Structure formats: structure tokens, C-alpha cells
Amino acid sequence: MALLKVEGLGKSYTSDKKILKNINLEINPGEFVSIIGPSGAGKSTFLRCINRMVEFNEGKITFNQQDVGSLNKRELRRMRTNIGMVFQHYNLVPRLTVIENVLHGRFGYKTTMQGILGRYTEEEKERAFELLEKLGIQEHAYKRCDQLSGGQQQRVGICRALIQEPKLVLCDEPIASLDPNSSKIIMDHLKAITTELGITCLVNLHQVDVAQNYSDRIIGLNQGEIVFEGASHQLSEEQIHKIYGTKTKELIIA
Amino acid sequence: MEAVQIRRKKDGRINIKVGNKVDQVVTWTLIILSILTIVAFAFFNYAGLEIKSAMTETAYNLKVMFLQPAISHFSMEEAIYQMVITLGLAFLATVIGAVIAFFLSLMAAANLSNKWTVRIVRVFVAIIRAVPTVLWVLIFAIAAGLGSEAAILGMLFHSVAYLVKAFSEAFEEVDKGIIEALQATGANWWHIVTRGVMPSTFTYLLSWVFLRFEINFGVAVAMGAAAGAGGIGFELFMASGFYFDLKEVGFITYGILIIAIVLEVISTRLKKRYFPANSN
Amino acid sequence: MNEKAMRKNRWQSVIFLLIIIVLTYWSSFITQFNFWDGLVTIPEATGWMLSNLSITQDSLERLPKIMETLVETIFMSIAATTLAAAVSLFLGLFGSNTTKVNSFLSVFARFVASVSRNIPVVAWSLILLISFGQNSVTGFLALFVGTVGFLTRAFMESMDEVGQSSVEALTATGATYFQIVSKAVIPQCLPQMLSWILFMIETNIRSATLVGILTGTGIGYTFDMYYKTLNYNAVGLVTLCIVIAVILVDLISNYIRKVIL
């Protein structure tokens, strides 16, 4: 049974230009799937349609047997707790401590008042520290987020997604602002989420080689359409050329 | 290993706040302000106040003012003329203020002046700023005789203080390299100012001057009402204080509102253009 | 820059300068302002101030009364600013692009802010005086209304600066609107907002004097009373008290600002 099923998804901001066209996709529990494609291909928009951060116009998305498009506000929040999200620019609250930022991931389970007053249970706090330890940044727990390096901040972002106890984690260009060293650490952690915790990962990437190294399956997106779908080893030079429409050698090096 | 990193409260619960100085100061400032606010209501002088009737009456008055504006004690031309006088007062105070502020701010900029001059000018400016404009105007009115001179001189003081601060900060942001390069060529102080500092800050200074003009318009209205400086402010004072003519008050308020909004729109555009990062 | 452009630039400067000079001349004519008369009066006025505004034994006896109204004025300014800040917080939230609920509320918040800011505080005092009468509440309300306008705009700008990123992240976790506001937006702009509040308290103490003259309350009324009875020594003392109060508040708020920003 697929965890996420996308049928005929379409999205346009203006009537003349479609960002996404007729996307069909199934993702099974425990898979690590990458979406590659040039910038402007609609990768970010596609990811945001899944948890309805962006409203889509056509088609149907089914997540965990629920029709995403038909959920009301309350149900949508409930669903979002099951989907973690990791961002290119980490999107942390810079003035707050690491531990506070991680605990923000619990808001979906709380009433408004509990959230405003910052009431977290001891189990939640313990869990937050466990996650920080797992990602190797426990010693920074009481530091302000703006004092951390990019790679460390991204790990905080991953902790925030994991404390939600999600079934699916969406990663929007998680390593695009990081140096190669930090990128490797982050990708290893994301891979570990799938292999060790069994959480499904859907990752937007623009580095083809990274996608090939880590993914079970790769989806190539160009101008809002899926132009490739298959296992990593099936991705040939020719197909990369089709996805990017340019010489691939330079891309792989870059 | 694991337990060392976790900070706990006395009762064993995990602490997630760090309590740094910034947070403490922010929290305490807010607490103190709230307490002072509550205390304030105990201090108030409530002489002759009946909240309920005052509220309904004000609501009624506002309705009359804004829905049936009209003029009865002067003509439309007169109204426009008074408005122009107010604008003229504001304009003069701004222009003269800008000229004076320009020279003073050269003395107040740390990179163009010596330490002691900077300090003296800054203390002087701080004291001038501390006296409310209306007091300056009233004091000048007796010291120098009533008339537009008193109003403009009074308004001048705050304009100068405000612009000196803005100008000198702008001068201090001028690239050190430019000044050093000119010094190296043997240029004297005036050359540095006119060739090095002025070209790179001129438009910036001009937009500050315009922002001050916007403020001065409001001040000029106030001086007309509170210090008898003439202009539309005085008419407003007469309409509300002597004739109790709500419709006329409404008409004048509309006039002031329109000009103020036009000025604000212009200055917002200027701000967006010349202070993209921060308008503080 | 080529010569043609430079010449054009120079012409523009000359025309600009000419316009300013003409406007200045014209304004002087309309307002019957004589620059030289004004200039001449400065030394004269300074001399007058030095000899007449000095503080005497007699005026010192009035100090307790003056202090009482000064304290009343300071409290009035603080109360008006703090309560206005509370209202502005919500208007700012509705008006800011980062946190707006819907476009109707956003336009409404901006409209309220613009109107209350652009009608000068004098006009508010005079309008409120008609029905509220001569007491602290009138002054308080006049300051309050103007402050709401100013702070709403300032708060809106601070919130816009926070940007969408952490708001987006918290939305994705399933957080509610007020959770997002209280944990992502407010913590980031609180120091900036507090700085604006302090600035406004300072400004309001000065405006309170003006409002006091018009509405017959606080230190402004005290000043006006001595002024009209020609008791200039007391006028000097009142002015001195205001100066000290404003500078003290200024120093305190500068200290706080230095720590938090």
C-alpha cells in the first residue's frame, strides 16, 4: 500500500503558465526518493503541494489513505504533524535556543494555549535531547541558533522534523546552501532516517551525483513534468541530458 | 555523558530556557512598563469625567465631524490660504534648519571633527531636543515678540537637533578610504567636505530633510493651535475651542489629513529608494 | 561620467537650488517671516531668557506642585504608550505581510493606522476635549490614538523584516496561527518593538506637554498657568524639570536599547 499517491496533479499561479502538469507518482513506506531537475522545474512547488503549503488546482493527492485536497483546516494540521519538512535555509527562529527550535516540532500535537505558554512534557524534552545526540549536536542545545554553522543549523532543522514523529519527511534542497563536507553529513543523516527509523524521505536535489549515491529511486522533473522515473542505476547520461537539457558533465562536476 | 548536557530545574524537570541578559532585560522592561501603566490609572485626575456619556458623545461628534464636514467661519480660499501658511512655516523651519544642521553636523561627525567638538555639539543637541517644541515657541514668543519669527525659531530648534543626528550619522558612514585619499593629495578640510563627503551623501541628506518636513507640518499645525502661530492649526483651535463648530473641525481635520497622507506617501517612496535596509 | 551628463547634472542642481530659494522667499512672504528680524532676536531672546527664566527661591517653593504634575504627565505618557502598544501588536499582526490573516483585515489595520497617525495629536486633543472635558483621560486618549498609528506602522515593518521562513517552517509542523505568532514572529521582533515603544514614551512625554496646554492637564497646564500669569521664574523651573525628565528617560531607554539590540 502506497504511503503517498499523486494522481494527475496540476498547479498554476496564472492561467497561461502551468508550474506542474499531470504529475503521477506513488511512494511506498520506507523509500528514499530524490527529485532532480533544473531550477524552476517546479520541484519546490511540488513538495509544498503535498502538505498543502501551496494549494494545488488539479488532481488528487492521497497521503496515508487521506485525500489531502479535501481536508479542512483542523484535519490539515493533523495531517501536517505526520509530514516533517526540512528547508534549504533551515528556517529556524534565530533568536531562540536550539532546544526550543527542536520542540517547535511538537506544536501540531498541542492546543494553542499549550504552545504559547511553551508547555512541553518531560518525555518530549527527553526525546528532543535524544534526537540532538543522535545528530551529534547535543552540546549546542542551549546555544542560540544564529551562533551555529549552516550544517549544524540544518541538523537542528532535521531534529525539528523528526520530533514530529512523521511518516514522511519532505526535504527542499537540504544541502544547497552547504559546503561539501556538511552536505555529506546531512545526506548521511537523512539516509539514516530511512534505514534506521523507517521514515520515508522525499528529497529535492540538484546534484545528480548525490541523488544517485543515496536514493532508492530518482524522479526527474523538467518544466513541471516528470521526464524520468526509475532506480538510481537506471539513470543514464542520456536521461540526465533530457532532464536538464544541457551538457551533463559540467553539472556533475558542479 | 548524556546527562551532563541536560540542564534541569530544582524539581528535576528539564530546563529549556537559558535566561540570557537580553531576554531578562526585555522581560523586566515589559513587566515594569505594565506595572507603571496600572499605577498610572490610579494617579489620573478624573475631574468631571463621565466615561459613558463622554464616549457616546465623542462617537456622535466624530460622526458629525467626518460625515458632515463644512465651513462656516471662513471661505474655501481662506482655508487654502491658511493651509499654505502652515506649509510655509514648516518649509521655512525645515530649510533654515537643514542649513544650520549641515554645519553643525560637520562638527558632530566623528570622522570630520575632533573628539571634544563632537561631544559638545552632541550634548548641546540633546538638551535642545529635551525641551518640547511648544515650550520653545512660547518662550520665544515672549522673548522676541509674537509672530511667525517665534514659531519658526521654536520649530527650528528641534529640526536642527533631529537633522544633526541624521546628518552626522550619514557622514560617519562615508568610506574612510575616500577621506584618506583626499587627505593624501593634500586637500584641505573644505575640499574633503565638498568633494569627498557631499557627493556621496547628498541625496541621502535630502531625503532626511524631506522626512523632517513631513514632521514639521504636524508640528506647525500644533504650534498654530497651542501657541497662536497662525495657519490652519489656529483655525482648528478656534473652531473647536471657541465656536464649537464640529462640522468645521471635521472639514479642517480632513484638510490636514489629506496633506499629511500626501506627504507620507512621498516620504515612504523616498525611504524605499534611499534607505532600502532600515528606515530607523 | 561624460561631460554632457555632468553639465546636465549641474543644471539640475542649479534649478533645484533656485526652486528652493524661490519657495523660501515665497514662504517668508506668506508667513510674514523676516529672516533678519529673526536672526537679530536670537541674542536678544537669549539675554531675556537668561535674566528672566532663572530659578529663584520663590519658584523653588512651587517645586512639589510642579513635580506632582510632571509625574502625572510621565505616567500618562507611559500608560498611553503601553496600551497603544498592546493594540498596535494586533493591528500590526493583521497588517504585516508575514502574519496577515486575510486581506480585508490587513487593509483595515493599515487604514486605521494611517488615519490615527496622520491626524495630528493636537486635532485629537481638541476633538476629545469637547466631550471628555479637562482631565487626564483626555490627554491620555489623545496620546493613545496617535501612538497606535505610529506603533502599528513600526511593528508592521519589524514583522515584515522577520520574513516568511520560520513562519513557513512552523506552519509545516501543523502549528496554529497564534502558536506561530508567539513562537516564531514575536521572539524575533520583540527587541526591535521594545525599542520603538521606548522611543514613543520619550516622544510622548514631550507631546504630553503640548497636549497638556490644550487640554488643561499635567505639566503642560502648569506651564501654561505660570506663563499666562507672567511668572517666568516658575516657567524656567518647569522647563528645567521637563528637560531633566526627558533626558533621564532618554538615558534609561538608550541603556536598554544598547543591551537588547
Give pLDDT tens digits for B2-57: 444 678 877 777 787 777 788 889 999 999 999 999 998 887 777 777 778 888 88
Quick one: closest CA in B to A142, which residue?
Answer: B18
* C136 and C39 in a common domain: no
* C128 and C111 in a common domain: yes
pLDDT tens-digit readout, A214-233: 999 999 998 888 988 988 88
Residues C168-194 have a mean pLDDT of 92
* Angle of the C136-162 helix axis to the C103-118 helix axis, nearest 10: 130
Is the Cβ pair B13, A122 closer than 8 Å?
A: yes
Residues A19-23 have a mean pLDDT of 90
Whether residue B244 has pLDDT greater than 90: no
CB of C174 within 8 A of CB of A75? no
Domains of chain A: 1-82+166-254 (3.40.50.300), 91-164 (no CATH)
Q: Give the A:C interface size as CB pairs under 8 Å.
A: 84
Band of pLDDT at residue A87, cut at 50, 70 and 90: very high
* C46 and C128 in a common domain: no
If we measure between CA atoms, which residue out of C142, C93, C145 comes closest to residue C117? Answer: C145
Alpha carbon of residue A59 to chain centroid: 21
DSSP string across A91-140:
---TTSBHHHHHHGGGGGGS-HHHHHHT---HHHHHHHHHHHHHTT-GGG
Going by DSSP bridges, is the β-strand pair A168-172/A200-205 parallel, antiparallel, or unpaired? parallel
Q: Which of B33, B81, B209, B267 to mutate to test the interface with C (most CBs of C within 10 A)?
A: B33
**Lowest mean pLDDT: which of A177-186, B140-149, C73-82?**
B140-149
CA distance A173 to A190: 12
Whether residue A128 has pLDDT greater than 90: yes
B window 1-20, beta carbon within 8 A of A: 2, 5-7, 13-14, 16-18, 20
* C169 and C114 in a common domain: yes
Q: Which residues of A touch B2 (CB under 8 A)?
A: 129, 133, 138
What was the pLDDT predicted at A161? 94
* C250 and C146 in a common domain: yes
Whether residue C4 has pLDDT greater than 80: no
* C131 and C179 in a common domain: yes
Q: Which cell numbers hold the place of B30? A: 515589559
Q: Which residues of A touch B6 (CB under 8 A)?
A: 129, 141
If we measure between CA atoms, which residue out of B241, B233, B247, B68 comes closest to residue C129? Answer: B241
Shortest alpha-carbon distance between residue B9 and chain A (Å): 12
CB of B137 within 8 A of CB of B81? no
Question: What CATH number is associated with residue C63?
Answer: 1.10.3720.10
Alpha carbon of residue B278 to chain centroid: 17
Determine what percent of chain B is predicted with pLDDT higher than 90.
Answer: 24
* C20 and C86 in a common domain: no
3-state percent helix, strand, coil for chain C, nearest multiple of 5: 85, 0, 15
Quick one: closest CA in C to A114, which residue?
Answer: C179
Q: Which cell numbers hold the place of B279? A: 528606515
What was the pLDDT predicted at B2? 46
Under DSSP, the state recorded for A233 is G
Alpha carbon of residue B187 to chain centroid: 37
* C62 and C40 in a common domain: no
Residues B117-130 have a mean pLDDT of 88
ipTM, two decimals, is: 0.86
Among residues C52, C71, C86, which one ends one of the domains? C52
* C209 and C162 in a common domain: yes
Is the Cβ pair B5, A118 closer than 8 Å?
A: no
| Nearest CB neighbour to C122, from listed B149, B233, B261 | B233
- CATH class of the domain comprising B72-274: mainly alpha
* C248 and C163 in a common domain: yes
* C95 and C44 in a common domain: no
Q: Which residues of A touch B20 (CB under 8 A)?
A: 144
Q: Which residues of B touch A163 (CB under 8 A)?
A: none
What was the pLDDT predicted at A252? 54
Whether residue B193 has pLDDT greater than 50: yes
Residue C24 sits in which domain range?
Answer: 3-52
Band of pLDDT at residue B84, cut at 50, 70 and 90: very high
- A170 forms beta bridges with A85, A202
Is the Cβ pair B5, A122 closer than 8 Å?
A: no
| Nearest CB neighbour to B226, from listed C79, C115, C214 | C214
CB of B106 within 8 A of CB of B237? no
b/e code C55-75 from CB counts within 10 Å (16+ = b): eeeebeebeeebeebbebbbb
Mean pLDDT of chain A: 89
Number of domains in chain C: 2
Q: Give the A:B interface size as CB pairs under 8 Å.
A: 29
CB neighbours (10 Å) of residue B121? 19
What was the pLDDT predicted at A152? 93
What was the pLDDT predicted at B188? 82
* C163 and C69 in a common domain: yes
Q: Which residues of A touch C98 (CB under 8 A)?
A: none
pLDDT tens-digit readout, A30-52: 999 999 988 888 899 999 999 99
What was the pLDDT predicted at B61? 85
